[in-house]
Amino acid sequence: MAKRREQWSSNFGFLMAAAGSAVGLGNIWKFPYVAGHNGGALFLIFYIIILVVIGIPILIAEMSVGRATHLNSIDACKKINPKWAFVGVIGFLASFVIMSYYCVIGGWVLKYIATYIVTDKINNPATFFNEFCSSSIEPIVWLFIFIAITALIVMNGISNGIERISKIFLPLLFLFIIIIAINSLLLPGASKGVKFFFVPDFTDINSAGDVGKIFLSALGQVFFSLSLGMGTLITYGSYLDKNANIPKNAVSIPVLDTLIAILAGLAILPAVFAYDLEPGAGPGLIFQVLPVVFANMPFGRFIAILFFVLVFFAAITSAISLLEVVAAYFIDHKNVSRNAAALGCSAGIFIAAIFVSLSFGALGGFKVLGKNIFDLFTTLTDKILMPIGGFLMCILVGYVWGIPNMLKEISSNGLYKFRYKTAISATLKYIAPALILTIFVVSFL
């Protein structure tokens, strides 16, 4: 154990890496679509409320556990109480499952970058997309490339790999998405999308149930988007310096994450409305609708390449964090070298991802509980593992570890003053667990 644990080289590096984990397909692909499906502005308002009330306290809790223990998520939970190692195990499993479908979508993104490099437009986007994602070999080749890139970065280690990459990717991402958002906002008819996104419309709200549905979607989206409840932030926090200011980071990360999500909304929704397209198109939104948008834009091909490169950046920095959670366990616990851990875990993920990819085509008819493999995996993580993980994290920190221990860690042993002690205690012990329990129960109704 004499080996000195790696650390982030600077707080900015940590911030970029953690924000890089948060900002991903969840912001760019999922957020606009879920917002589109849930009343736009109302969803945005609920999202921000939940982010502040539940998201930030759990973010603080996870980072504190990581920094206090300096261990991977499983061993961190075990150190707090040996009986609670299973909380880390849930995060470890969920990260593996999320990674197996994240890579598939990441591969699609690579395919679209390649397509726009060789052709100037996609003529029939829906057919193009369906033919591509249902074929057996090509998507697997792309997802392999995506995993290989992720593994290479993780093999380079914390400050060399993850941090350096995120430091470059994230500011670039910001710049690219602003360019595309401006482009979309200048389209004739864009104002309908802006209004939809920012001005609440109560005409579709007929019952408490309608409000509840929007609220629950927003809760799920906050968890996914901030990478909460899976041990990602325990792992990242474990590489954090003892003097780093946890609450300050726990505000910067969600602010960055939400800004990108809102910018993504502004890049996509006005364009969708301007062309009279469907905002709730789901996994196909980016891949089927946007090529229509690009085809009708000046410099469309150029913008398309920028856009998909941007989505790739976002996806890769999130994928790195997912792989790191899985690999860190083997590095710390099994004393495996970083290279071997990253490669071994990637190989396992690749095999699972092959099945996910095939579920869009050859294995589409293979169903468990009426769901194909992709749907099964997303439901397993979004509706089961993430709510359970988040709930248990609250209980672990609120009752098992105890709020006083967390507060000591947050203040870096008295170095920083933290003013919201009662609020965070009430949230972690009562409010957040109660709300998560609600989402969990209602999602099964």
> Smallest distance from the beta carbon of 314 to ligand TRP, in angstroms?
7
The residue (of 75 and 324) whose beta carbon lies closer to ligand TRP is 324
Exposed e or buried b per residue across 355-377, where buried means at least 16 C-beta atoms within 10 angstroms of its C-beta: bbbbbbeebeeeeeeeebbbebb
221 interacts with ligand TRP by CB under 6 A: no
318 interacts with ligand TRP by CB under 6 A: yes
> Smallest distance from the beta carbon of 356 to ligand TRP, in angstroms?
16
Q: Which residues does residue 368 pair with via DSSP β-bridges, in sequence order?
A: 371
Please, what is the end-to-end C-alpha distance for the chain in angstroms?
Answer: 49
The residue (of 322 and 394) whose beta carbon lies closer to ligand TRP is 322
**Count of CA atoms in the C-beta half-sphere (13 A) of 84:** 19
232 interacts with ligand TRP by CB under 6 A: yes
Distance CA 224, CA 33 (A): 14
Closest CA to 246 of 25, 427, 388, 67: 67
Q: Which residues neighbour 258 within 8 Å (Cβ) at sequence distance 6 or greater?
A: 47, 48, 51
321 interacts with ligand TRP by CB under 6 A: yes
State the CB neighbour count (10 A cutoff) for residue 4: 6
21 interacts with ligand TRP by CB under 6 A: yes
> Smallest distance from the beta carbon of 21 to ligand TRP, in angstroms?
5
The residue (of 58 and 190) whose beta carbon lies closer to ligand TRP is 58
State the CB neighbour count (10 A cutoff) for residue 141: 13
Distance CA 75, CA 295 (A): 51
Distance CA 267, CA 36 (A): 13
Distance CA 190, CA 208 (A): 31
38 interacts with ligand TRP by CB under 6 A: no
DSSP 4: P
The residue (of 28 and 41) whose beta carbon lies closer to ligand TRP is 28
Given 20, 24, 254, 387, the residue binding ligand TRP (CB under 6 A)? 24
Are 231 and 95 a contacting pair, CB within 8 Å?
Answer: yes
> Smallest distance from the beta carbon of 85 to ligand TRP, in angstroms?
19
Distance CA 330, CA 334 (A): 5
Question: CA of 355: how far to CAs of 100, 254, 286, 372, 376, in Å?
Answer: 9, 33, 22, 10, 12
> Smallest distance from the beta carbon of 127 to ligand TRP, in angstroms?
27
51 interacts with ligand TRP by CB under 6 A: no
Pick the stretch among 16-24, 72-80, 194-202, 290-298 that binds ligand TRP (CB under 6 A): 16-24
- The first and second tokens of residue 388, run together, are 């359970």
Given 26, 39, 300, 433, the residue binding ligand TRP (CB under 6 A)? 26
Given 87, 310, 322, 406, the residue binding ligand TRP (CB under 6 A)? 322
The residue (of 77 and 230) whose beta carbon lies closer to ligand TRP is 230
Q: Which amino acid is at 91?
A: G
Pick the stretch among 25-33, 56-64, 269-277, 424-432 that binds ligand TRP (CB under 6 A): 25-33
227 interacts with ligand TRP by CB under 6 A: yes
The residue (of 72 and 318) whose beta carbon lies closer to ligand TRP is 318
Pick the stretch among 60-68, 223-231, 267-275, 370-378 that binds ligand TRP (CB under 6 A): 223-231
Distance CA 361, CA 375 (A): 13
Given 35, 41, 230, 435, the residue binding ligand TRP (CB under 6 A)? 230
* The three-state (H, E, C) secondary structure of 6-46, written as one string: CCCCCHHHHHHHHHHHHCCHHHHHHHHHHHHHCCCHHHHHH
The residue (of 73 and 184) whose beta carbon lies closer to ligand TRP is 73
The residue (of 306 and 323) whose beta carbon lies closer to ligand TRP is 323
323 interacts with ligand TRP by CB under 6 A: no
> Smallest distance from the beta carbon of 365 to ligand TRP, in angstroms?
29
Which of the residues 76 through 105 are near ligand TRP (CB under 6 A)? 98
Q: How many residues bind ligand TRP (CB under 6 A)?
A: 15
- Give DSSP secondary structure letters for 216-267: HHHHHHHHHHTTTTSSHHHHHHHTS-TTS-HHHHHHHHHHHHHHHHHHHHHH
Pick the stretch among 58-66, 178-186, 316-324, 330-338 that binds ligand TRP (CB under 6 A): 316-324
The residue (of 98 and 281) whose beta carbon lies closer to ligand TRP is 98
Instruction: Provide the Cα torsion 28, 31, 36, 42; round to 10°.
Output: -140
Q: Which residues neighbour 155 within 8 Å (Cβ) at sequence distance 6 or greater?
A: 161, 338, 339, 342, 343
Pick the stretch among 105-113, 127-135, 222-230, 274-282 that binds ligand TRP (CB under 6 A): 222-230
Pick the stretch among 23-31, 134-142, 150-158, 165-173 that binds ligand TRP (CB under 6 A): 23-31
Residues at the interface with ligand TRP (CB under 6 A): 21-22, 24-27, 98, 224-225, 227, 230, 232, 318, 321-322
